[in-house]
Amino acid sequence: MGKPTGFLEYQRQNDPAQAPLERIGHFREFHPRLPKAERQRQGARCMACGVPFCQSGAVLNGMVSGCPLHNLVPEWNDLVYTGNFDLALERLLKTNPFPEFTGRVCPALCEAACTCGLHGEAVTVKANELGIIEDAWEKGLIAPCPPKARTGKRVAVVGSGPSGLACAARLNSRGHLVTVFEKADRPGGLLMYGIPNMKLEKEIVLRRTQLLEEEGVKFRTGVDVGADLAPEELLREYDAVVLCCGAGQPRDLKVVNRDVKGVHFAVDFLTSTTRSLLNSGPRDGAFLSAKGKDVVIVGGGDTGNDCVGTSIRHGCRSVIQLEMMPKAPDARTEGNPWPEWPRICKTDYGQEEAIAKFGADPRLYQTTVTELIADKENYLTAIRTVKLGTDLKPIPGTEGELPCQLLLIAAGFLGPRPYVPQSFGLETNQRSNVKTPEGGYATSVPKVFAAGDMRRGQSLVVWAIQEGCSAAREVDRYLMGYTAL
């Protein structure tokens, strides 16, 4: 696959990035794609390794190594190298229904497992994937392909995030009549309102959902199943119901004066900005603004980083990101060998922008909030903090105070919002996720299935897509007695 000596002849070349101080002036994507000739050289770096760990999706030491979708990475990299982008598209779409999403927001588990990364730099798999699919969109190769025959079976998919869309796409391609219910005003779920425009412009999401509509999938937005629409009605009208509602229950802070004004969950902050951008660009002012404020973000993960980048674009006065855990090493340790997922410190786009604008990394490690301080009108003015030991216990004498008028909680999610599984009478596990058999998607209620973060727990977009595709196979088998998916 690829050029036998390509990994020796060519250096890894990432898609370029607009400079931090330039890109903070807008909410658009800032990674222009490489020219096709350079993309072909990057494909040439994919060597003919005997065991392509990149597509394994294997669990090593508690973390996944390689692509959970088992993308045929060496095959389409070879086709990129030889300039056969149309054939590369066919191989890519065999395993991944939405490469335009994973090519933008996936952390690239494939690259972490790339054999070239053992003694050098991994192949640019993620960027090559994005190059293939965007080339196809530009050439008009992505066109509606409705099924030639319908089965007459009706399926309701609740939730239009990556798992719901993947499940709906697969079931529709099989010929089932699929209706997707979404409580928000636009389809896309996490893709629409949980991921900022800088990482995934919303035209990309709308482009795909419009294509699905043209292929026969129906979308009903503004419908909150379990609240606005009773489960009994769905079970009466549809032959199967697939719940893909995500892990929407955010983890809260247990601190003194939690009820002060100026504290918000990260997902609400990000959603308000995206909705305002879509509605007015964002001139309506109908969003949680960080302008002129000292912002503190609790949580060091991807969502916390998204809040950093968004706050800077709002025009915040300062931004700090608190992380309870110690700083990860800058390089792999002996206890974290290839091809395990590298447990190393990553400086993401938002942190890069904070460094460029304010002159320092916004992250404070081994630090947590103990108390919120408010003025006479109960508006947040500052927070009290304490340093934590490696055992995550407070260290006496390390208390401090930070100015803060906007506190954003990005501490992860506990599972689906309880009213959905409760309204269906579903069993949940100890993590409050919907309970299904090991490796299965059927719930404790007949006709009802679950997939994505609602079943698996908070995870990645690529895992949500894998869950949706796998659930579709099980639903198809349930409806037809066998599956052709």
pLDDT digits (tens, 9 = 90+) for 266-299: 999 999 999 999 999 888 889 999 999 999 999 9
| Contact (Cβ atoms closer than 8 angstroms) between residue 200 and residue 101 | yes
* Confidence at 401, pLDDT banded by 50, 70, 90: very high
Contacts 24+ apart (CB under 8 A), 421-427: 421/243, 422/226, 423/225, 423/226, 423/227, 423/230, 423/231, 424/226, 424/231, 424/243, 424/448, 426/243, 426/450
Map out the domains of the chain as residue ranges: 6-138, 154-249+414-480, 252-411
Q: How confident is the model at residue 62, as a pLDDT?
A: 87
pLDDT digits (tens, 9 = 90+) for 133-188: 999 999 999 999 999 999 999 999 999 999 999 999 999 999 999 999 999 999 99
CATH architecture of 6-138: Orthogonal Bundle (1.10)
Predicted confidence (pLDDT) per residue in 419-433, tens digit: 999 999 999 999 899
At residue 320, the pLDDT reads 98
pLDDT of residue 283: 86
pLDDT in tens, 34-59: 999 999 999 999 987 888 999 999 99
The confidence score (pLDDT) of residue 19 equals 98
Residues 323-353: pLDDT tens digits?
999 999 999 999 999 999 999 999 999 999 9
Could you write out the DSSP letters of every residue in 68-117?
TT---HHHHHHHHHTT-HHHHHHHHHTT-S-HHHHHHH---HHHHT-GGG
**252-411 shares the fold of 154-249+414-480:** yes
Residue 31 phi, psi (nearest 5): -115, 85
User: How buried is 389 (Cβ within 10 angstroms: 0-12 exposed, 13-18 middle, 19+ buried)?
Assistant: exposed
pTM: predicted TM-score of the whole model, two decimal places: 0.96
Q: What's the rounded mean pLDDT across residues 426-455?
A: 95
**Nearest-angstrom CA–CA distance, 175 and 146:** 8
CB 54, CB 66: distance < 8 Å: yes
Q: Which of 287, 285, 280, 289 is nearest to 311 (CA)?
A: 289
Mean pLDDT of the chain: 96
Average pLDDT value for residue range 456-476: 97
How does DSSP classify residue 191? Answer: I
**What is the per-residue pLDDT for 47?**
85
SS3 state of residue 186: coil
Q: Which two tokens stand for residue 438?
A: 């090991």
Average pLDDT over residues 354-376: 97
CATH architecture of 154-249+414-480: 3-Layer(bba) Sandwich (3.50)
The hierarchical CATH code for the domain 252-411 is: 3.50.50.60
| φ, ψ for residue 162, nearest 5 deg | -60, -35
Instruction: Please say whether the beta carbons of 107 and 127 come within 8 A.
Output: no
In whole angstroms, give the CA distance from residue 179 to residue 421: 19
pLDDT of residue 314: 98
Specify the pLDDT at position 1. Answer: 65
